Chain A
């Protein structure tokens, strides 16, 4: 292969992926700017958001230049790292509790980051190693159980915090990877059945914290408690619905500016978008996600090996589920959980993680021809 440097660089860069990512980052920054404009430290928060993007470039570049195939050999240390990350908030003196979950790592009371965010990427890499060992054919219950063991392990640690939403992300990641990894159709049917049974069991046995149960039940029956747990959902729906076709205009959302929308710059950023930019703004966002996910799918398809395809599939699973869950909860289709909207929500942990995921995709893409 005799190629010019420029040509080699362009080969290494997936231009659409970078383009869609930048578009989402710009869109997100604009929305965060609008959502935080009325806050006491609005400009400071916007600066922190942009800083998160800049910091996220570090894992992006590192993951990109690093040959992902070499990650295979680090299975043990990676599992250990993920476990440490997930347990860390429970270590006395390091945890920070917000919204009923101790999912933050803190030092001297200052929130640093949510370790479960980077743990998602490690989980993707670890599961990719396991699933790729099945050589693209999963037809033995033992194979499924092996993957389930990893999922259960991660879930167990996450539910210690407890952070139900993040736990669901891990399940979604695993499911997509199992699909690409060649799991037979009937296992998906079993998984669906098991999921329903598990949900019922969890509710019946009272394993959830009260606030989680409330949120779930309110999701099923929103009028149950309009001023309490249902309030967030009701206000979010009012915001989005009242946005109409073209929205009330950037910065002109009454639901947002008058504080009716809870966590409007983080988990409920889509409510602000829906209210201020309307259905057209929502189409633009979902269109960008479609473009991003299709690009990621193309990268997965282009991978020279199953391992790379699985890593890309894991990233797709992560993003797709987070979009479904986050947008879904704001319109009352999904229960309310604290899952951020990729590239849009304020919050550096998820920003850094998502940019890291882009780095992983670029790493897979740039090594698609292999040697």
Chain B
């Protein structure tokens, strides 16, 4: 027995070693995982267990100066497609593949999305186009339709088996109680763009697919309106089913803002702009489709109304705009309704610029109120080979500076301009710049243009490739003196010029924000009036200009428009010549003359005459501001 045990001894020892080795190997492995790698695995387990969903912060609302709601939020039922669902993901992979031969065919799209598209009154490719939108976070459901009819929603929920990739979710969207009114000023919202997402400053912490302001106040005050997202951590089981809430950080809603505009004035401004366009077309200016209105408070620079035509409906962007709709809004024939012409467009100011020329002349001592001029209709001071014409070809005869303004006589201003040319001091440009022309006003709206005040240096640079055109000529100053040639101003800039004239030569910076409101609706930050430009013009000169502008609305080129208004208005018509287009109608004014409060600028592109098209619109807007009756004015002025 003992010898037998002896033989076996080494084998048992070997087996014992095997046992110890096997268990040790397991122990070492467990040591590395549970002691050395514990933190990493704990993080993985936590990640498994907890899903964080972000809680959207309600976007701040926008009010007008009187607290009227302009933009609010509401919840909408959105029908979305889950891009991560097998069937849909396969299509998306193929569509994104470089190889175009592999793109999903119409038949395939029809097979999957056909029925849904039918229910939503869309085409299968429209549905797919929204699903394949790359501007979204990869796994976020793609909104296909917002505010679908309840019966469609009910049907989709009932037939989830047939549409496993359809999600019905509640979405916080913008609501516009006044429709498209003030749409340019308010702007619209949409999914954050690639560029916005990449730019680090304002959009830090944003996620793809977030809703942000795209234009107008929505864009300008994005940082104020957005708020901070919250989160909710939910424990889920292996099937992803929620088990309970682990933690929550409520979102901080965005701040509400109050704008300077008065919705009622805005409404009238838009109505009057539309009426002016209709009137222009009635007068035979068939191409009159676009225009703009700006109404300013001269003492504060507050924008009371800002209209731009044609307009658009910001509600079209809720849930994402379709490509077809987007393209139609960006077509040339549509006259670009998304553009806010009041700040984004620059035009020759034409005769409305004569106030600058006149003021510069008065300040330089080149002219005075009763200085007499002789207008024969044809002006040949620069030499007979370069004649210039007054708009009134038959001539105004003998007239003073003041009546030259009243009748918008070009000859008077040619004379002043030519004098400036001869002095070679560029005083006309200096006066324009003293009003802030040629630079942005700094209004709190995106996309503002600076316009242009041409001078010798600019011309040289502008024509750097054409040496023969580089020299500043007498005609350049003369053209500029009547607001033609190379001068360009935005409607907003012309409104600020007239506001400056009314405000003793001090131009207040135009702005649309009145206050940022706190969570109680009380002003957390109020915008204080700020001087934009101080022209330093003398009271005397401004008085001459004012008297001449009052003549314009009493007896001059705009008398038809302003007859019977009951408020003394200082205004000026303008009729801009643009090569290849019908004349652009301008009217700029401020009122009341005794204690000026408001400045108005109206332009109607290809609308013809300032006096008969733009003037009546300005008249009715002022009527609204002063509580006077609004009338349909059929003025016959064909002057400039």
- Show the binding face of A for B, using Cβ within 8 Å: 136, 176, 179-180, 182, 235, 237-245, 254-255, 258-260, 274-275, 278-279, 282-283, 286, 289-290, 293-294, 297, 300-301, 304, 306, 309, 313, 316, 320, 323-324, 327-328, 331, 333
Contacts and interface: CB of A to CB of B under 8 A. Distances in A.
A79 to B, nearest CB: 26
B44 A241 contact: yes
Contact of B33 (A260, A290, A294, A331): A331
Given A179-B14, A241-B34, A258 B23 contact: no
Given A279-B31, A290-B23, A304-B1, A241 B37 contact: yes
A301 B19 contact: no
Chain A contact residues: helix, strand, loop or mixed: helix
A320 B19 contact: yes
Given A136-B4, A286-B23, A241 B33 contact: yes
Contacts of A289: 23
Contacts of B237: 258-260
19 contacts: A179-B11, A179-B15, A235-B48, A238-B41, A238-B48, A241-B42, A241-B45, A243-B34, A245-B35, A255-B48, A259-B239, A278-B34, A283-B30, A297-B15, A297-B16, A316-B15, A323-B22, A324-B26, A333-B25
B45 A282 contact: no
B19 A237 contact: no
B50 to A, nearest CB: 9
Contacts of B20: 290
A279 B42 contact: no
Interface in B1-51: 1, 4-5, 7-8, 11-12, 14-16, 18-20, 22-23, 25-27, 29-31, 33-35, 37-38, 40-42, 44-46, 48-49
A333 B48 CA distance: 22
Contacts of A182: 7, 11
B30 A297 contact: no
B425 interface: no
Contacts of A331: 26, 29-30, 33
Contact of A136 (B7, B19, B35, B243): B7
Nearest to A254: B49
A301 B45 CA distance: 46
Nearest to A306: B4
Contacts, number: 132
Interface of B: 1, 4-5, 7-8, 11-12, 14-16, 18-20, 22-23, 25-27, 29-31, 33-35, 37-38, 40-42, 44-46, 48-49, 235-239, 243
B44 A283 contact: no
B15 A244 contact: no
A237 B41 contact: yes
A290 B17 CA distance: 11
A254 B45 contact: yes
B40 to A, nearest CB: 7
A136 B8 contact: yes
Contact of A327 (B26, B42, B49): B26
Contacts of A297: 12, 15-16, 19
A304 B8 CA distance: 12
A180 B34 contact: no
Contacts of B19: 290, 293-294, 297, 316, 320
Contacts of A275: 45
Contact of A244 (B38, B44, B238): B38
B11 A242 contact: no
B35 A244 contact: yes
Contact of A242 (B1, B29, B35, B42): B42
Given A244-B42, A254-B235, A331-B33, 20 more contacts: A176-B15, A180-B8, A237-B33, A238-B41, A238-B44, A238-B45, A238-B48, A241-B42, A242-B38, A242-B42, A242-B44, A243-B38, A244-B34, A254-B45, A259-B239, A282-B30, A290-B23, A297-B19, A301-B8, A331-B26
A14 to B, nearest CB: 16
A97 B23 CA distance: 33
Contacts of B31: 279
